[in-house]
Chain A
């Protein structure tokens, strides 16, 4: 029973409550840095580090944090993890850091992270808070990667900087520009909603069949 629960807390962020496709949160980095798959992965990893770290601390100290100043404290905790991620990336991956630019510090303002602290980590045990954070950030990274891959393949003709097509391929430049981000995100949301609707219709059919069978 407990294992089932833990699995559920993890998987809900990846699929059912996916922060991007279902909750439509964290749109700023989603649209800004997904012009290549590698940028998407690094951004996703930085967000994962910040979210898991913050959720762990918030769940650990939830009884000590005064209600009146909790949002300020969450922001201080998040900002500290973001700064650590920022300087670490600058030292280890200066090239990728240059591409991501201001969007690493802007993780502080990612409403998905603050939202998980307020809605989940501050009300649950450390174990579930970390599982929830892992699930949510994995879902976020998957969404970034989906968007980044589509945009890099169409906009640059490559994936993870490996050219996919011959020299004759004319890159669809608009895909790596902001309009391409909106376009791809819109189509992916459409697809996600379509799948959800189909699934609901299917479940309804099954339920109806069962009622008739009974």
Chain B
């Protein structure tokens, strides 16, 4: 009984060799992955920051400088150079450092996956002045019109927020707080409106009264690079 077993053991490499081979391969693979991660991280971070910066400038026309603002301890404070999270919005300022408006990131469920967007809001006029979809996986050809269809995006170029933003059937827009939904992508259109309304409700009580927004703090990084 023991003879065939031992002859098998001679032919097959020992367990230690197998473990060693796998461990060595895993180690090398791990090192390569760490190296490529470290090598590409600065570019990837810079790409993301540039994308966000470009989006802020797009949704807030006339802005030349921006700074992150964070809601902390019951009030909105300037938070330059800090890690951004879901308590962070962006303040846009003109060349003379006068406050213009907020760029507010928001996210919510779309037709297929989470839609992430950014909208520009002028608190003095209670008006949305621009909207950009940052990330979405809506149906190609239909739902993706929420960012590919210029006419739909233009709905948000001057949009009153009171009492609430409403999506109307295409061509039925009549009031300043209404938008034309996309034919064939009603769910995606309504999702965008719902995300904006929810974000607005969330931030309504947190924004300081118009005229007392946090001032631009002079730090590197607040200069617009566009």
Query: Which residues in A have some Cβ–Cβ distance to B below 8 Å?
Result: 35, 64-66, 68-69, 72-73, 76-77, 79-80, 83-84, 87-88, 90-92, 94, 98, 101, 155-156, 171, 173, 176-177
Contacts and interface: CB of A to CB of B under 8 A. Distances in A.
Interface in B20-38: 21-22, 25-26, 28-29, 32-33, 36-37
A69 B140 contact: no
B145 to A, nearest CB: 11
What's the interface size class on B, roughly?
20 to 34
Contacts of B26: 76
A88 B40 contact: yes
Contacts, number: 66
A94 B47 contact: yes
A95 B40 CA distance: 16
25 contacts: A35-B140, A64-B21, A65-B21, A66-B13, A66-B17, A66-B18, A66-B21, A69-B22, A73-B21, A76-B25, A76-B26, A77-B29, A80-B28, A80-B29, A83-B36, A87-B36, A88-B36, A90-B40, A91-B43, A94-B51, A98-B135, A155-B140, A173-B141, A177-B140, A177-B141
Interface of B: 12-13, 17-18, 21-22, 25-26, 28-29, 32-33, 36-37, 39-40, 43-44, 47-48, 51, 135, 137, 139-142
Given A66-B13, A73-B21, A77-B29, A156 B141 contact: yes
Contacts of A87: 36-37, 39-40, 44
Nearest to B139: A177
Minimum-distance CB pairs A-B, first 5? A173-B141, A91-B40, A91-B43, A80-B29, A87-B40
Contacts of B43: 91-92
Given A73-B25, A79-B29, A91-B44, 5 more contacts: A66-B13, A72-B22, A80-B32, A173-B141, A177-B140
A193 B202 CA distance: 60
Nearest to B17: A66
Give the residue among A66, A77, A101 with the most B Cβ atoms within 10 A: A66
